[in-house]
Structure 1
């Protein structure tokens, strides 16, 4: 994500690398400028109180939640349930892929 031409996208999944929420997953709700984004996970950090984060403190994944992206582009907001669903879906897929990889090695 350090390349200047790749910028964060609305609905993109991130892992928080620094701060009190370290190692938590969240979704980009809004891109403020080239350095900051608003993120939320729908659980501890709700849509109506997003966290402003420096993009250098986030690990960006190639996964963009279509449900969240569509909801924000159509209505300007997204439900906390949809955020929770998108985060848990991504985490479950990642963990499942990791476990499959482990089983192949073992």
Structure 2
């Protein structure tokens, strides 16, 4: 389910290092080949997106089309959409664990 190459806007990432380690975020900006900005819409709002080294993130094979579309249309995404993307992933992951995947 995981891969570590070329993060994309709207991609869900698990935070591996730092004070937010263990949390989930959504890539809202690609800064360069080493850094991205992530936000979760809750603790880390879009306007205060966290700059993270991509080596400190585990990128998941899940991209939120809502986040991508919103950023493409207006250059912004609401914190509600970010929260929705994160909660959708958490529900998906919980169901997979219940099935024993």
Query: Structure 2: which 5+ residue stretches go unaligned?
Result: none
1:97 equivalent in structure 2: 96
> Paired residues, what number?
99
- The RMSD of aligned alpha carbons is 1.1
Q: Which structure ranks higher in relative contact order (CA pairs < 8 Å, sequence separation ≥ 6)?
A: 2
TM-score by length of 2: 0.94
Q: Secondary structure at the match of 1:48?
A: helix
Structure 1 runs of 4+ aligned residues shifted over 3 Å read none
Provide the C-alpha distance between the structure 2 equivalents of 1:28 and 1:61, rounded to a whole number of angstroms: 11
Query: Structure 1: which 5+ residue stretches go unaligned?
Result: none
Q: Secondary structure at the match of 1:30?
A: strand
Provide the C-alpha distance between the structure 2 equivalents of 1:60 and 1:83, rounded to a whole number of angstroms: 16
